[in-house]
Amino acid sequence: MAMIEAVEISKIYSMGDISVNALERVSLTIEKGEFVAIMGPSGSGKSTFMNILGCLDKPTSGRYLLEDIDVSHLKRDELADIRKKKIGFVFQGFNLLPRTSAIENVELPMLYDGLSLKDRRQKAMVALKLVGLEGREHHHPNQLSGGQQQRVAIARALVNTAPVILADEPTGNLDTKTSVEIMEFLTKLNKESGITIILITHEHDIAAYSRRIIRFLDGRIISDEPRKRP
């Protein structure tokens, strides 16, 4: 059973007269436990594709199966359930709730799962420890560095033990040292917990942590190959 199966997915943005073909008949299969990097120039449709994989957006045409479930026909609330249980999304811009402590940000997915406050606290604490943010749980996002904020975002993606983590340029605006720390953590997660990881990046150093590299250009996949050993 493939973890992710995209069949001829297209996405067209139309604004009045102009329409942009952000994705054109993209097909792709990703197995359970893979670590995939998506690369490509700016505007090539990487984020658009990732948002569809994350059930945040719907394709204009094509089918998307997540663990053999055809997601294209699901209703709003069913999609919300999939996002909650199956997908951990790490955004380029962190997307943490402002004026809300790190631990409460991490608790968020469990809040909508109906867990009690006590259980939420406990699990969120475990996730924060895992990303090395012990002692910072009561800091608000504006009291944390970029790397720390990204780690809070990763902890939030982890906390519901989703089988897939989607990360859109997770190290986009972090320094090399922090990027390395975060990539090593994701690698460990992939190896030890078997979590499927798909990440978008512009940097070859980052892509080097993956085991498969997919390249986009103008809304199409132009290459899909295992990472070459350096």
Partner 1 sequence: MINIPSTFRISFRALRVNKMRSALTMLGIVIGVAAVIAMLSVGTGASTQISEQISSMGSNLIMVLPGATTAGGVRMGMGSQPTLTLGDAEAIQKESSAVADVAPVISEVAQVVYGNQNWSTGVVGTTPSMINVRDWHLSSGRPFTDQDVKNAIKVCLLGQTVVDNLFGDVNPVGQIIRIKKIPFTVAGVLAVKGQSPNGQDQDDTIFVPVTTAQKRLFGTTFPGMVRILMVKAKSTENLPAAEKQITELLKQRHHIGPKQEDDFTVRNLTQFMQAAEQSTRVMTLLLGSIASVSLIVGGIGIMNIMLVSVTERTREIGIRMAVGAKTWDIRLQFIIEALTLSLIGGAVGIAAGVSSSKAVAMLAGWPTIVSPFSILIAFGFSGLVGIFFGFYPAYKASLLNPIDALRYE
CA atoms within 13 A on the CB side of 216: 27
The residue among 213, 187, 227 whose CA lies nearest residue 28 is 213
Binding residues for Mg ion, rule: CB under 5 A, are: 47
Q: Distance between CA 198 and CA 89 in Å, rounded? A: 10
Q: Which is nearer to ligand ATP, 191 or 204 (CB)?
A: 204
Tell me the chain's radius of gyration from C-alpha atoms: 17
E strand or H helix that includes residue 226: strand 220-226
Between 13 and 112, CB nearer to ligand ATP: 13
Nearest approach, Cβ of residue 216 and partner 1 (Å): 18
Task: Say how many C-beta atoms besides its own lie within 10 A of residue 5's C-beta.
Answer: 18
Answer with the entry of Mg ion, partner 1, ligand ATP, none that 156 interacts with (C-beta below 5 to 8 A by kind): partner 1
Tell the smallest beta-carbon distance from residue 199 to ligand ATP (Å).
12
| Comparison of 64 and 209: residue with beta carbon closer to partner 1 | 64
Q: Please choose, from the candidates 13, 57, 44, 35, the residue with its C-alpha nearest in 3D space to the C-alpha of residue 222.
A: 44
| Binding positions for partner 1, rule: CB under 8 A | 51, 54, 56-57, 76-77, 80-81, 83-85, 89, 91, 95-100, 108-109, 111-114, 116-117, 156, 160
Cα gap 75→4, rounded to integer Å = 19
Q: Which does 77 bind (CB under 5 to 8 A by kind): Mg ion, ligand ATP, partner 1, none?
A: partner 1
Q: Which is nearer to ligand ATP, 48 or 101 (CB)?
A: 48
Strand-pair category, 18-31 with 2-15: antiparallel
> Which residue, 117 or 126, is less far from partner 1 as judged by CB?
117
Tell the smallest beta-carbon distance from residue 197 to partner 1 (Å).
Answer: 18
Q: Which does 44 bind (CB under 5 to 8 A by kind): ligand ATP, Mg ion, partner 1, none?
A: ligand ATP
At 130, give phi and psi (nearest 5°): -60, -40
